[in-house]
Amino acid sequence: MPRLPLAEIRPTGFPLVELRSTRLSLARHPWGSVSSAALALTLLLAVGCGGGSDDGGEGSGLGALFGADEPAGQGGEGLFPVRRGGLVGFIDGTGELVVEPRYHYALEPGEGLIAFADAEERWGYLDAETGEVVIEPRFDGAGPFSEGRAAVAVEGRGGYVDRRGDFVVEPQYSAARRFSDGLAAVRSGGQWGWIGPDGAVVVEPRFPFTRDFSEGLAAVRTGGGAGFVDRTGAIVVEPRFAEAYSFAGGLAPVRLSDGTWGFVGEDGEMRIEPRFYDAQPFSEGLAGVRIGARWGFVDEAGEVAIEPAWDRVDRFSEGLAAVAAVGGGWGYVDRRGTVVIEPRYASARPFQRGLASVESPEGGWGWIDRSGRFVWPPSQ
């Protein structure tokens, strides 16, 4: 996956396992070339865990506006972004160019719309099927749509628009994240809380760090530890962990004070005993874990499903997971751990709608199908 200098966006004291595994790169993200401030803002708008700024206050500048967790751009429909001549256009699933490269940056689809930046680094939205502009570029930053809303930034403040581009929540927050489970985390006065789709405050801001809601619970940091709250903001799992991440399939990875990782259920009880050096959330019934110096995968019973043989791994998507060979490149394995696409790429991202974006060792990003055949060759 694209490699990331984590210090740029990781909240101090609340490390992010998803960022460690996916390595989103602000410097050389595949789909565009806006300024570092605007790019940082939009990537952070797009994703879902937040903390305070490094100085402990509200932060300053666009890059300080939003917290980060999971990678954006795993939409389930429409076009695929490509880059040529330093500009971004779009192809369909067969590799045919549908929208000529003319944008400076773009996210991948979210609920049928694609956030893009024009030459002035103003953000708007395209129709993910036709490539037509449906919301004119007028925002300082924009995230993908989720549950009918998108977080956008205007003059350093975050708010939300609907699919027509009308504000449903006026820009007023120092940080704002995507909607998940009907709630969106927002930051005010240096603390995080949650609002509903109409902007009404559901949980008053009082947490220094939070994650998005997933399966009815959200990880928070309070009182020196990490635990979980329900949709009313009530603590349902006491903050007794050093780190805690989002639930998936009824399990959440947590780190204990001794540095070991395990998985808890929604009642906070340990379901998979802590014995790993690192761990990722479950996806498609498997979770990446580090055993010793190498990564493999376990199933929901905690049994090793794929032996630890990889330098790094990413989550499963559409039955395949990107893995990095020790001393080599990125490729893909299936659920049995069989290598189906040989490790030969500099970076690789999860499959979506039958294609995956990969980076060539010579530079440039392209799209491959499940056989490893390029439908769009690496280009810059």
pLDDT in tens, 23-49: 222 234 565 544 433 433 443 454 444
- Asked whether the predicted pLDDT for residue 308 surpasses 70, the reply is yes
The rounded mean pLDDT for the chain is 84
pLDDT at res. 78: 82
pLDDT at res. 52: 40
**Smallest Cα–Cα separation from 84: which of 316, 366, 312, 273?**
366
3-state secondary structure of 7: helix
Q: What tens digit of pLDDT does each residue of 210-264 get?
A: 999 999 999 999 988 999 999 999 999 999 999 999 999 999 999 999 999 999 9
Q: What tens digit of pLDDT does each residue of 161-179 get?
A: 999 999 999 999 999 999 9
Rounded Cα distance, 35 and 51, in Å: 23
Percent of the chain surpassing pLDDT 90: 76
CB contact set of 26 (below 8 Å; sequence gap of 6+): 4, 5, 8, 9, 36, 39, 40, 43
Percent of the chain surpassing pLDDT 70: 80
- Asked whether the predicted pLDDT for residue 271 surpasses 80, the reply is yes
pLDDT at res. 224: 86
What mean pLDDT is predicted for residues 128-135?
Answer: 94
pLDDT at res. 30: 63
Q: What tens digit of pLDDT does each residue of 38-93 get?
A: 433 443 454 444 554 333 333 323 333 433 344 333 444 689 999 999 999 999 99
- Asked whether the predicted pLDDT for residue 97 surpasses 50, the reply is yes
Q: How is residue 34 written in tokens?
A: 């806006």
- Report residue 109's pLDDT band, with 50, 70 and 90 as the boundaries: confident
pLDDT at res. 231: 97
Rounded Cα distance, 193 and 206, in Å: 6
Rounded Cα distance, 43 and 26, in Å: 8
What mean pLDDT is predicted for residues 321-342?
Answer: 97
